[in-house]
Chains A and B, each alone.
Chain A
């Protein structure tokens, strides 16, 4: 079949301005997008830059956006993208620095962030015979995470990275999970400080886009949530988040449901005058529109005592 590929182009050695080249090629019915790209480079335009390595969906090196969606070109079939017409657009990932054409900066996109999470084990002391034998059960879960081949699809799907490229992102945070929950890790206080710091786990919106994008079923969002739950259990070190979570938990524990007025004020901090002032315009509007009751009231739910009992038991069990 004959297909026209509309490929994003950018050459820093020329003017560096983004543009697009159209290539019409004949490819076999079962061809992959990568095979088409290789044909274009070999037969039509040797200046076209793109990445590939394993050619069988294992290394993640060839990820680009095919008709707008992130795909590994080595496994994406051309025929899957020509149903609306014989044209396919190819672009680099969103929100990443492009080096040339479809080649983007992997360091900025992912590797620097993984490095920031200290991706090595602070192992406990080894036994006298030099071996640390650990049970298989906890490792089964970690093996799933270790099967990540760093394709970056989770980061591509992330809701936060398009508004904040410095967010560590699901790929790096999932790598961190592998160490936080490794039974060999002696003490993860230092690692948790990094993960709970700016641009870390608390900036995640837990929208599950990463899980939907992961081709390996590693479920990065659930890994991030597990790190957050572990932080909650051990005591959240990020002060603002701690205030928010403590206030949320306290109002559910004490009354059975959420006291939003209290949450807004306590999240800012009772002594944080500028933070509290910031809430005033919206609070005033809410009052004028009848959104906030005057005087402000929050009463206990029926059943609150049972909810409190369950809460206290859950807290005690995790201590």
Chain B
């Protein structure tokens, strides 16, 4: 089981705790990864399609050349790559145009065969949940956890849930909470936007979204929230104190990345999963996790 690993900018930038914990978890699970180092940022939904599609076609072509499926650890990277891949594979004329005008000069051609999967999907669809369960060394019993998917990991359907079976992707994060032995603290906005895309354009609305989701999770008694999207993490964790100040609420909810969450259940210590790097203190989580060992 080997993947062309696309870590995304944020896992090495604003959330530097994510990249090393993902690598450790992949290693523990025996998922072989080859990092794609010479490819571009996806554009994250900020760059217009006429710029992001050609640079993403290049990334997809490079993975195809390696003969490997791609694995992402970011809902936004996953969404943008999957949307570009959908356009490039469903419209051969468009693909031919991109190949000719942008990729040919570098001697690349995208034939349309690269499969792109988020780590969350890999665990369910390729790795196998029974295999994962057999490796759990520290069931997270007694911890209440809210899921937060990142909207790009939910929609649009043609790129994210193209088949009837793939509809199950909308519940993978809920399921994984139970699989590692924790209790689900469900929230109504788990598939909604975290507000990060408009942090610059409309900070007030962005922070209101942070307060809404983290506040609801806290009300439901969650110990923390888990997300497969580092951009959601940047807003839900990094800007939570500003959201508290704006709304007058006290929230103080730790936010964990998916690989950190799975890693704790696999037996890694909070220190090894870099929990101390978060902006909202994870001390309460660390104490509870250490009591389980």
Q: List residues of A whose CB falls within 8 A of some B CB.
A: 159-160, 162-164, 167, 202-209, 211-212, 219, 221-222, 225, 228-229, 232-233, 238, 240-241, 244-245, 248-249, 252, 256-261, 267, 281-282, 285-286, 289-291, 293, 301-303, 306-307, 309-311, 313-315, 317-318
- Say yes or no: B50 contacts A248, CB within 8 Å: no
Query: Which of B13-21, B120-128, B248-256, B285-293 lies on the face that meets chain A?
Result: B13-21
- Say yes or no: B205 contacts A163, CB within 8 Å: yes
- Is B54 interfacial (CB 8 A cutoff)? yes
- Is B69 interfacial (CB 8 A cutoff)? no
Contact flag A310-B58 (CB < 8 Å), given A207-B192, A282-B242: yes
- Say yes or no: B151 contacts A212, CB within 8 Å: no
- Say yes or no: A289 contacts B277, CB within 8 Å: yes
- Say yes or no: A232 contacts B48, CB within 8 Å: yes
- Say yes or no: B55 contacts A310, CB within 8 Å: yes
Partner of A211, one of B40, B155, B197: B155
- Is B45 interfacial (CB 8 A cutoff)? yes
- Say yes or no: A302 contacts B47, CB within 8 Å: no
Q: Which 4 A-B pairs have the closest CB atoms?
A: A303-B38, A208-B155, A207-B151, A229-B48
**C-alpha gap A207/B196 in the complex (Å):** 11
- Is B193 interfacial (CB 8 A cutoff)? yes
Chain B, range 227-255, C-beta contacts under 8 Å to A: 238-239, 241-242
- Say yes or no: A207 contacts B193, CB within 8 Å: yes
- Say yes or no: A260 contacts B14, CB within 8 Å: yes
**C-alpha gap A318/B52 in the complex (Å):** 13
Q: List residues of B whose CB falls within 8 A of some A CB.
A: 9-10, 13-17, 37-41, 43-51, 54-55, 58, 101-102, 105-106, 151, 154-157, 192-193, 195, 197-198, 200-202, 204-205, 208-209, 212, 238-239, 241-242, 276-279
Which residues of A are found within 8 Å of B102, using beta-carbon distances? Answer: 310, 313-314
- Say yes or no: B155 contacts A291, CB within 8 Å: no
**C-alpha gap A267/B242 in the complex (Å):** 18
**C-alpha gap A289/B276 in the complex (Å):** 7
Interface of A, secondary structure class, is helix
- Say yes or no: A291 contacts B277, CB within 8 Å: yes
Which residues of B are found within 8 Å of A258, using beta-carbon distances? Answer: 9-10, 13, 41, 44
**C-alpha gap A302/B201 in the complex (Å):** 32
- Say yes or no: B14 contacts A257, CB within 8 Å: no
**C-alpha gap A9/B96 in the complex (Å):** 58
Which residues of A are found within 8 Å of B39, using beta-carbon distances? Answer: 256, 301, 303
Partner of B202, one of A164, A245, A282, A310: A164
Interface centre among B44, B47, B212, B278 (most CB of A within 10 A): B47
Give B12's nearest chain A residue, CB to CB.
Answer: A257
**C-alpha gap A240/B209 in the complex (Å):** 20
Which residues of A are found within 8 Å of B106, using beta-carbon distances? Answer: 306
- Say yes or no: B40 contacts A256, CB within 8 Å: yes
Which residues of B are found within 8 Å of A208, using beta-carbon distances? Answer: 151, 154-156
- Say yes or no: B40 contacts A252, CB within 8 Å: yes
Contact flag A206-B45 (CB < 8 Å), given A159-B193, A211-B155, A314-B50: yes
The smallest C-beta distance from B198 to any residue of chain A, in angstroms, reads: 5
- Say yes or no: B40 contacts A163, CB within 8 Å: no
**C-alpha gap A310/B51 in the complex (Å):** 8
